[in-house]
Amino acid sequence: MISVSEALDHLFALARPLDVEEVPLREAGGRVLARPVAARRDQPPFAASAMDGYGVAEAAPGLKFTVIGEAAAGRAFHGQVGRGEAVRIFTGAPVPEGVKTVVIQEDVTRDGEVITITDRLGEGDNIRPYGNDFRAGLTLDAPRLLGAQDIALLAAMNIARVPVTRRPKVALISTGDELVMPGEDPGPDQIIASNTFGLYVLLQQLGAEPRLLPIARDNEASLRAIFGMVGDADLVVTIGGASVGDHDLVARVAEGMGLERAFHKVAMRPGKPLMSGRFGEAMMVGLPGNPVSAMVCGHVFLAPVIRAMLGLDAAAAPRETLRLAAPVGENGPREHYMRARVTPEGVSIFDRQDSALLSVLGAADALAVRPPRDPARAAGEEIEVIRL
Ligand SMILES: Nc1nc2c(c(=O)[nH]1)N[C@H]1C(S)=C(S)[C@@H](COP(=O)(O)OP(=O)(O)OC[C@H]3O[C@@H](n4cnc5c(N)ncnc54)[C@H](O)[C@@H]3O)O[C@H]1N2
Ligand code: MOO
């Protein structure tokens, strides 16, 4: 069995980078910027007032001015402002020629067209200089996962269409005679396909485009038929049928259809029967069927693979080092990803870790990672966690 980090190395080698597409700005949130983009203008494109008030050449308590016009956002005052003159000005307005400072209206008394600066004149000129935020050519570097604030910046840069990495198309195949879809009536020996839907949402959240294929039954003909439906998927993910049982046919059938397997079985818990390889034009990852095993493999393997396909760093799921809230016993020979909660007292690992228990996963907000053969640990000792 290979280690988790060896498995990740294999997976990164199997993943192919995707091409670039242009999308409208509003659709670029959550996508990965594929090429650097440069600002197409200076911002602000003129010196702008930062406040509502009066623009003057020089301000001091007691000085009087005659108001000769008005400058508002989107409506400049085009004349020259001389000594003894003021322009009524509003936030965002271009600062007229001759104005050196904006006195906020709270620091002024007005009588008809004449204003007088009171004796509590505030500090600063209240003017945002030309190009103060950025200049044309300012570059947003790629690759970069675009958040809401990046979209605001790109808009200000006047970028209406954004080059992003195409979303990886992922075909999700559940396998098993026992599975029915949520909402259906299960027979007495059937259960509901669950991790399929968890993985679907995880993939969506990662920026992939998942597609649910019909459930493949535990026979070669059914598996072959469903594999025949993967189309132009970049990644084929199977769930279940990965182990050694008589009905675990996934690897055999996929190999019959051209899978070049890179590995099968990883020294981890849960998730041991993981496999992967190239499957025609696609990459294939076979996940174990146990609901928690599949979800843990989603976080530990699928998430880094999707990020790599999107052009982000090929890196394992980020870990943090925190302190244990309670002692934990020694670990076995496999790297153990234990459902846990991060509390103010530290990392609290759940007692029940069976890989069928989705209720325990639902209560968890982190996976505590124990190295193989990690000795028993006391409360307060450090432990690495992956946040869920
Ligand atoms: N003799 C051995 N038996 C098993 C081993 C082993 O090494 N030797 N490994 C165990 C481990 S670890 C795991 S994990 C499981 C994984 O087995 P499979 O990948 O073949 O999964 P299945 O047998 O198809 O299903 C396991 C379990 O999960 C349920 N399941 C499957 N798909 C779904 C789904 N989409 N949604 C919800 N639940 C699902 C299925 O009904 C089974 O209960 O093998 C152990 N056995
Ligand atoms: O390795 Mo299995 O995934 O423990 O349930």
Give 8-26 pLDDT, tens digit per residue: 999 999 999 899 999 999 9
Please indicate whether residue 53, judged by its CB atom, sits closer than 6 Å to ligand 1: no
Q: What is the complex's ipTM, to 2 decimals?
A: 0.97
Measure 296 CA to ligand 1 centroid, in angstroms.
Answer: 14
For ligand 2, atom 4, which residue shows the shortest CA distance? 270
How far is it, in rounded angstroms, from Cα 210 to Cα 199? 9
Ligand 1 mutation target, pool 290, 292, 334, 336, most atoms within 8 A of CB: 290
Q: What are 15's strand-pairing partners?
A: none
Task: Give the predicted TM-score (pTM) of the model.
Answer: 0.91
Does 195 contact ligand 2 (Cβ within 6 A)? no
Continuous H helices in 26-97: none
Question: How far does residue 103's CA lie from ligand 1's centre (Å)?
Answer: 73
Q: Which residues pair with 14 in a beta bridge?
A: none
171-212 pLDDT, tens digit per residue, is: 999 999 999 999 999 999 999 999 999 999 999 999 999 999
pLDDT value at position 121?
85
Rounded to an integer, the average pLDDT of 300-323 is: 97
Best residue among 4, 244, 269, 285 to mutate for probing ligand 2, ranked by most atoms within 8 Å of CB: 269
**Are the CB atoms for 270 and 278 separated by under 8 Å?**
no
Estimate the share of the chain in helix, then strand, then coil, as percent rounded to the nearest 5.
20, 35, 45
Mean pLDDT of 256-273: 96
Counting ligands in written order, which one lies closest to the CA of residue 335? 2
Cα(243) to centroid of ligand 1, in Å? 7
pLDDT at 14: 97
Query: What DSSP state is assigned to residue 302?
Result: I
* Amino acid letter, 375: P
pLDDT at 255 over 80: yes
Instruction: Place 231 in a pLDDT band, splitting at 50, 70 and 90.
Output: very high
Strands 209-212 and 169-174: parallel
Q: Measured between alpha carbons, how far is 311 from 83 in angstroms, rounded to an integer?
A: 58
Q: How far is CA 280 from CA 213, 227, 256, 308, in A?
A: 18, 11, 12, 19
- The CA radius of gyration of the chain, in Å to the nearest whole number, is 31
Instruction: Give the residue among 339, 345, 355, 346 at the shortest CA–CA distance from 321.
Output: 346
Compute the Cα dihedral for 19, 209, 364, 350 and give only its sign: negative
Q: Residue 293 CA: which ligand is closest? A: 2
Q: Is the CB of 44 under 6 A from ligand 1?
A: no
How confident is the model at residue 39, as a pLDDT? 98
Residue 284 structure tokens: 């294939």
Mean pLDDT of the residues in the chain:
97
Tokens of 148: 């809401």
Q: Which ligand approaches the C-alpha of residue 354 most closely?
A: 2
Residue 88 confidence (pLDDT): 98
Whole-angstrom distance, CA of residue 199 vs CA of residue 356: 15
| Ligand 1 closest atom vs CA 175 | 32
For residue 120, what pLDDT is reported? 86
Q: Please tell me the distance between residue 243's alpha carbon and the centre of ligand 2 in angstroms.
A: 9
Ligand 2 atom at minimal distance to the Cα of residue 268: 1
Rounded Cα distance between 307 and 344, Å, is 31
Q: Is 242 in the pocket of ligand 1 (CB under 6 A)?
A: yes
Taken in order of first residue, the domains within the chain and their CATH numbers are 4-17+167-309 (3.40.980.10), 20-43+133-165 (3.90.105.10), 48-128 (2.170.190.11), 320-387 (2.40.340.10)
Give residue 122's pLDDT band: very low, low, confident or very high (50, 70, 90). Answer: confident
pLDDT value of residue 242: 87
Give φ, ψ of 156 to 5 degrees: -60, -30
pLDDT of residue 246: 78
Cβ burial 27-37 (10 Å sphere, 16+ → b, else e): ebebbbbbeeb
Task: Determine the distance separating the centroid of ligand 1 and the alpha carbon of 274, expressed in angstroms.
Answer: 11
Is the sign of the CA dihedral 361, 367, 372, 374 positive or negative? Answer: negative
Distance CA 267, CA 370 (A): 12
Answer whether residue 244 shows pLDDT above 80. no
Percent of the chain, pLDDT > 70? Answer: 100
Strand partners, 341: 348
**Cα 374 from Cα 180, distance rounded (Å):** 39
The C-alpha atoms of residue 158 and residue 42 are separated, in whole angstroms, by 10
For 185-199, b/e burial (b = at least 16 CB within 10 A) is eeeeeeeebbbbebb
- The residue among 254, 259, 180 whose CA lies nearest residue 224 is 254
Would you put residue 92 in left (φ > 0), alpha (ψ -120 to 50) or beta? left
Distance CA 58, CA 280 (A): 74
Residue of 87 and 122 predicted with greater confidence: 87
Distance of alpha carbon 26 from alpha carbon 151, whole angstroms: 8
pLDDT, position 247: 75
Record the tokens describing residue 89, joined without a space: 């000005």
The CA distance from 339 to 350, in Å, is 6
